[in-house]
A and B are shown apart, each in its own frame.
Chain A
Amino acid sequence: MKKRRFSPFDILNYLILALLGFSMIYPFIYILVYSFNDGKDSMLGALYFYPRKFTFDNYAQVFDNPKIWQAYKITLFRTVLGTFLSVFLSTLMAYALSKKSLPGRTFFTFYIFLPTIFSAGFIPYFITLQKLHLINTFWVFVIPALFSFLHIVIIRTFLQGIPEELEESARIDGYGDFQIFARIILPLSGPVLATISLFVGVAHWNDWFTGAYYVSDKNLIPVQTLLQQMLTEAEALSNSMQQASQNGGQTINANVAGSTPESLRMALLVIAVFPILCVYPFLQRFFVKGTMIGSVKG
């Protein structure tokens, strides 16, 4: 194709998209800057693109805090275990459903589809969790998040693309159903498993609701719920600070260094956000395909 001239439309278009891209990344730059800047110094404001008084103090203090360590452990553990179990069991089920010859296949597909268009609502679900004695245990993070209709459909569609002949030749070699699944199907499903792992992993990592409503044991609170609690506290704090400044109190002494609750919160925010932000660009080409299958078949 011939190289086209830059029309006013092009310029406007590039400008809009550049602004959009900037608005997506800047908030994360902002918290990164504040998390590496001295807390007391940050209170002077006017920090935009790079730290003024660089320090690792905020991180050191965050990692020193046993409450945060405990929350981080819960988040890591539920994400790893929850993602592994969910992806493994969903793939097993999707594999069975991908067999066109399986009697009752349509019925089973409908059985898992129905709840997506009519759900019972929060309360019956909550009572069910209670009756199953999941409330206030670690397992409430893992078991209720094991399956999802959409994920099963995405995996099933992918598996249907694997040639039958591979399985047949393996069967002739004396492989059983589970051996075929473990040695042939799983190794060939890399892209779709990566996609679903990302979906499930992100959902686990980001879930604050379960920790806030289904768990009261302080030792079971994940990082996101901790951040949510800080959100409410920070609101109260900023309200009282605003009142104080309106009353003419509050002067900030810039010569004192040290962390503040806010700078610690920024550091915590960074460690709660960056693991995922570092992973997703590498999985991009997989999940773009995954979402397409999902929306077309869903």
Chain B
Amino acid sequence: MFYLFMLPGLVWFFLFSYVPLYGIQVAFRDFQFSGGFSGSPWAGLKYFHQFFDYYQSSRLIRNTILISALKLLIGFMMPIILAVLLNEVRNVKFKKTVQTLSYLPYFVSWVVVVTLMQRLLAQYGGPVNNLLESIGMVKDPIQFLNNTSWFYQMILGSDIWKNIGWNSIIYIAAIAGIDQQQYEAAKIDGAGRFKQIWHVTLPGIRNIAVILFILATGSLMSAGYEQLLLLSGPATASIDSVLDVHVINAGLNEGRLSYAAAVGLFQSVIALVLILTVNRVARKVSDVSLF
């Protein structure tokens, strides 16, 4: 009977996870729709060559790694900082309100976030520029969007804005689990606020941070296709083109399925290697690992 309970799930994972895995072979074939996964003629490494010979391939890889590394390094620290700051707040009502508000952007789609950015950061009449101008921080309104010199800040900023609250949940919970006696002991030893944070709070969330970091490295080769599909445009093309978007454009828009599958496979393999490497390093260095 229990096997019957699992049956829909097992069939689903077979169809939507394992059949596509079998379909990876289209990267090595000249895919024709009539032939299906295994019926099209072999092409060997033709499409991999095509990608690495493409004059923009190194730029694509560079942009992808740069954007996701920025998100990984800065975007990863922000929720920890937020959790630590919230922990220092004594007023429960204030703390709860900030927490609830900080989850809010997580629940809206990237389409909404980008629409909001378009309105609030508009060069002419956008409230952010109006504010900056009225307090005299800028002379001329800043063109935040579709501008290469602001592009990475926008990508990173919107990513942090959307996810900081949500990602801090786990750290807040971990901090709540720290034994209060440790703080008392630190106080008796004469530790001030910052010493307490450094010696008690941060070590208390170290393990969970390592695990989340391992998980995050797996996505180093994917820079977040939803956000980038929506925020990239011709004006920033030289620095916004990343692998995920390239796969979608080449495959779904131009119909070069085998080529796009080859690029996608390259991406998946690197991601797997990365996650296994970081997992091993983490196990050696700190005894914490995912598997």
Contact = CB atoms under 8 A, between A and B. Distances in A.
- Report whether chain A binds chain B: yes
A17 B109 CA distance: 24
B226 A93 contact: no
A177 B5 CA distance: 10
Nearest to A178: B1
A7 B193 CA distance: 10
A119 B261 contact: no
B136 interface: no
Interface string B108-124: 11111011101110101
B120 A284 contact: no
Contacts of B111: 206, 208, 224, 227-228, 231
A24 B82 CA distance: 13
Interface stretch (A53-61, A65-73, A161-169, A274-282): A274-282
Interface stretch (B56-64, B69-77, B264-272): B264-272
B104 A277 contact: yes
A121 B264 contact: yes
A9 B192 CA distance: 11
Contacts of B261: 121, 123-124
Interface in B80-97: 82, 85-86, 88-90, 94, 97
Given A126-B251, A147-B9, A209-B226, A17 B89 contact: yes
A24 B105 contact: yes
Q: Which of B115, B124, B268 has the most CB of A within 10 A?
A: B115
A295 B212 contact: yes
A277 B104 CA distance: 7
B19 interface: yes
A127 B230 CA distance: 24
B109 A206 contact: yes
B173 interface: yes
Nearest to B269: A118
Q: Secondary structure at chain A's binding surface: helix, strand, loop or mixed?
A: helix
A295 to B, nearest CB: 5
A211 to B, nearest CB: 10
A143 to B, nearest CB: 8
Interface stretch (A76-84, A186-194, A253-261, A265-273): A265-273
A269 B125 contact: no
A270 to B, nearest CB: 10
B18 A292 contact: no
Range of interface residues on B (Cβ < 8 Å): 35 or more
B88 A10 contact: yes
Given A202-B107, A242-B124, A127 B100 contact: no
A142 to B, nearest CB: 12
Given A21-B97, A227-B115, A111 B13 contact: yes
Contacts of B271: 118
A193 to B, nearest CB: 16
Given A92-B5, A292-B169, 16 more contacts: A9-B193, A13-B88, A17-B98, A20-B101, A24-B104, A24-B105, A25-B101, A30-B119, A117-B275, A123-B264, A124-B19, A147-B13, A205-B109, A227-B112, A276-B108, A291-B170
Interface of A: 4, 7, 9-10, 13-14, 16-18, 20-21, 23-25, 27-28, 30-31, 34, 45-46, 48, 89-90, 92-93, 95-97, 99, 102, 108, 111-112, 114-115, 117-128, 130-132, 143-144, 146-147, 152, 176-178, 181, 202, 205-209, 213, 224, 227-228, 230-231, 234-235, 238, 242, 245, 265, 269, 272-273, 276-277, 280-281, 284, 288, 291-292, 295-296, 298
| Shortest 4 CB-CB contacts between residues of A and residues of B | A121-B264, A124-B23, A206-B109, A120-B20
Interface of B: 1-3, 5-6, 8-10, 12-13, 15-24, 26-27, 31, 33, 36-37, 82, 85-86, 88-90, 94, 97-98, 100-105, 107-112, 114-116, 118-120, 122, 124-125, 127, 130, 161, 164-166, 169-170, 173, 193, 208, 211-212, 215, 218, 226, 230, 233, 247-248, 251-252, 257, 260-261, 264-265, 267-268, 271-272, 275
